[in-house]
Amino acid sequence: MTTPLITAQGLTKQFVSYKKNPGVMGSFTSFFKRNPVIKDAVKDFSFSVAKGEIVGLLGPNGAGKTTLMKMFTGIIVPSDGELKILGSNPWERDKNFRKRIALVMGQKSQLWWDIPAMDSFLLLQKYYEVSDKNFEARIEKMSELLGVKDLLHIHVRKLSLGERMKMELMASLLHNPEVIFLDEPTIGLDLVAQENIRKFILEYHRENECCIIITSHYMQDVQALCDRLVLIFDGKKGYDGPLSRFEDILGNEKNVTFNFSSPQEPESEFWHSLNGEWSKNNTQVDLRIPEEKLRESSAHIITTFPVEDFATDKLPIERVMKELMNNPKLLREQQSSETL
């Protein structure tokens, strides 16, 4: 059996803050007695990742995703539990470990703002001890794949957000890391730029067989890149398995969108019973219909109402996430049924 590149067992991270009573007396009292408030950002988190896997790490804001990524890369130290990345303790930050991983944070830059990206790349080449031959080959290959060959010598501050993000990826991958952590790599980008970044990541992964952990608020990133999904709620792992099984958590239903030539009445008896999501002008509705009733229900709607067109798809992962955040017990029920 292949040794996992990432293993976490009972991983926990606690942050301590202090509560102060209001007013002057509260400030004075806090000098002598402080009331600690302990928050479990991550609690008892366990999983492993093998070479070549692309794993999506999802959860609502404040769930613990970024805390996990910072522990994986050694930025912060776990409060408890065991963590090994490529056989090393990340928080020790030894040189060999740093040369084998990469972290890309969509909201933080590692490039110098007032110099061209190539100048930053040359500095990173020396830092990571990349040979001239490998450096030139990787710059040529990645800049061509990302379509930025003509932008390497332009000051970073003059680049668009999408162009800067491509340069960030190049900077992080110059040393050919074995494990890559991508924290919101497409945040703020337009649809075309997002698609280009995804294509590049898939191509890079195909050629290098690296291990990738990705967090994102764009479900398209996860669906396009990941076969495996890890879901975290309130610092605890709620789901770990194939993306296909996650999409089936809410049952065997289809998402059907109908577009009408004129506004409809959502509160009528028929539509109210279906509990659909309507557009503002009531000319489009999204319905969840059990697969066994799909043909009958769709035929009735098409023959009864002024349907211009309709589309059928699996239940979008965004809606699955929304349902689980509003009702986490659905996940526990699904897991319980699988163990029976």
For 50-103, give the DSSP string: -TT-EEEEE--TTSSHHHHHHHHTTSS--SEEEEEETTB-GGG--HHHHTTEEE
What order do you get walking across the sheet with 6-19 strand by strand? 35-49, 6-19, 80-85
User: Which region among 19-33, 64-78, 234-248, 262-276 has the lowest average model confidence (pLDDT)?
Assistant: 19-33
What tens digit of pLDDT does each residue of 35-73 get? 777 888 899 999 999 999 999 998 877 778 889 999 999
Work out how many domains the chain is built from and give that number. Answer: 2
Residues 125 and 259 in one domain: no
Distance CA 256, CA 180 (A): 37
pLDDT value of residue 185: 85
Q: Does some domain include residue 321?
A: no
225, 214 contact by CB (below 8 A): yes
Give the Cα separation of 186 and 183 in Å (integer): 9
Greater pLDDT, 106 or 257: 257
Rounded Cα distance between 324 and 117, Å, is 42
> Are 227 and 268 in the same domain?
no
The predicted structure's pLDDT at residue 32:
74
Domain span including residue 152: 6-242
Of residues 93 and 329, the one with the higher pLDDT is: 93
pLDDT digits (tens, 9 = 90+) for 145-201: 888 999 999 999 999 888 888 999 999 999 999 999 998 888 878 888 888 889 999
Region of residue 331 (phi > 0: left; psi between -120 and 50: alpha; otherwise: beta):
alpha
Same domain, 288 and 162: no
303 and 183 belong to one structural domain: no
Residue 336 lies in a domain: no
Average pLDDT over residues 85-94: 90
187 & 299 share domain: no
**223 and 258, same domain (yes or no):** no
Q: Is the pLDDT of residue 133 over 90?
A: yes
Q: What is the mean pLDDT of the chain?
A: 84
Does residue 329 form part of some domain?
no
**What is the average pLDDT across 115-135?**
93
